[in-house]
Amino acid sequence: MKINENYLKLQDSYLFSTIARKVASYTAAHPERTVIRLGIGDVTRPLCPAVVRALEEASREMGTPEGFHGYGPEQGYDFLREAVALYYSSHGVTLSADEIYISDGAKSDLGNILDLFDADNRVLIPDPVYPVYVDTNIMAGREIVFLDANASNGFLPMPDDAVQADLIYLCSPNNPTGAVYNHAQLKAWVDYALQTGAVILFDAAYECFVGDGLPHSIFEIEGARGCAIEFCSLSKTAGFTGTRCGYTVVPHELRCAGVSLGSLWLRRQTTKFNGVPYIVQRGAAAVFSPEGRREIEENLRYYRDNARIMADVLREMGVWFTGGAYSPYLWLRCPRGLSSWEYFDQLLEQANVVGTPGAGFGRNGEGYFRLTAFGERGATVEAMERIRKMG
């Protein structure tokens, strides 16, 4: 018996455990100080009332012989697939419900989708980046080419004709940088993918923060149906980080050598997955009801206002940053030429604020720092005040 030796090539991910250790040791030494955490990308607002009601109702249903639901369709119930299709149509994107695959979240699907592709495919991944893109490809032994995202391209790298790749990861609004591609930029990526025969894996997990006519979905771009798969999630949209529901869109047109990628994905999911809990799918459907939409919009406004408050302070301080406007993330250049971890330490010790060192997201993240807008309002205002004072 041999293990998959690609696993041994994975770097141990010390980022969040190192942060936790440093914070724990600081608070142990200074129990009188209040440390404010703007580090982890987890939401803090509770589920909205419409969702809670739907979850409770479905729970009760499951306790009755008439309302009980056993195995459901692996790809999700029609009531939810249709609700998602309707949501897409509000952005001018027409999808058929059977192009939408309900899942337990974008992280699972972003990892599992790789089952469909040959291990010899070459992968293009921006740097800095959500570490899952990198690790899942290392596990499969794929060759990875990194694409530099940096201050000179506003952390929005564009296609390079000299680079050949089969799979391309794009995330907009971006984690960790908060940068957002516009229509023309995404059009250039779609054209490049169509020209080279590559598939774009588009991570739209933060689409709910987009505004001012910027694209929510890659499928707003002409031609994308022939070259892209989109991953989306209710984690940030509706606070589902602990409730687990997302969806992946594989358009009918997407084929490789005559084989439909949608049919391969369906085969993968029906073989290795048994669908999202009925109760959770009812809760998810409530997110798309008029009442649910209104209620989650309140939570999103809360986080957006946090981001605006944070951005205002950084702007006033003259700090260079991306994100904040259409994203819950603010990605700032560390002051005084500090490294990511040096700034982390200073911020923790002098301002008692925890963020995430950019170096944890890749080589190009060095010298940068991520703050999130998912905190409580009071704590967020206080943290920014301390950062301002620190200068």
Paired tokens of 28: 């142990």
Q: Is 206 annotated as a binding residue?
A: yes
Q: Is 21 annotated as a binding residue?
A: no
> Closest CB to a second copy among 213 and 242?
242
Q: Is 370 annotated as a binding residue?
A: yes
Q: What is the CA radius of gyration of the chain?
A: 21
Q: What is the rounded distance in angstroms from the CA atom of residue 167 to the CA atom of residue 155?
A: 20
Q: What is the rounded distance in angstroms from the CA atom of residue 152 to the CA atom of residue 161?
A: 19
Paired tokens of 20: 């936790």
In whole angstroms, the minimum distance from the beta carbon of 351 to a second copy comes to 24
> Closest CB to a second copy among 32 and 66?
66
In whole angstroms, the minimum distance from the beta carbon of 337 to a second copy comes to 34
> Closest CB to a second copy among 280 and 311?
280
| CA torsion angle 169 172 175 176 (round to 10) | 100
Classify residue 242 by burial, with Cβ atoms within 10 Å: 0-12, 13-18, 19+.
Answer: exposed
> Closest CB to a second copy among 287 and 325?
287
Q: Is 192 annotated as a binding residue?
A: no
DSSP 375: S
Specify the amino acid at residue 280.
V
> Closest CB to a second copy among 26 and 273?
273
Q: What residues contact 242, with CB distance under 8 A and at least 6 apart?
A: none
How remote is the C-alpha of 192 from its chain's centroid? Answer: 23
Q: Is 274 annotated as a binding residue?
A: yes
Q: Is 233 annotated as a binding residue?
A: yes
In whole angstroms, the minimum distance from the beta carbon of 257 to a second copy comes to 7
In whole angstroms, the minimum distance from the beta carbon of 141 to a second copy comes to 9
Q: Is 106 annotated as a binding residue?
A: yes
In whole angstroms, the minimum distance from the beta carbon of 68 to a second copy comes to 4
Residue 56 and residue 63 in contact, taking contact as beta carbons nearer than 8 Å: no
> Annotated binding site for substrate: which residue ranges?
14, 41, 107, 130, 175, 274, 370
Q: Which residues are annotated as part of the binding site? A: 14, 41, 71, 106-107, 130, 175, 206, 233-235, 244, 274, 370
| Binding-site annotation: residue ranges for pyridoxal 5'-phosphate | 71, 106-107, 130, 175, 206, 233-235, 244, 274
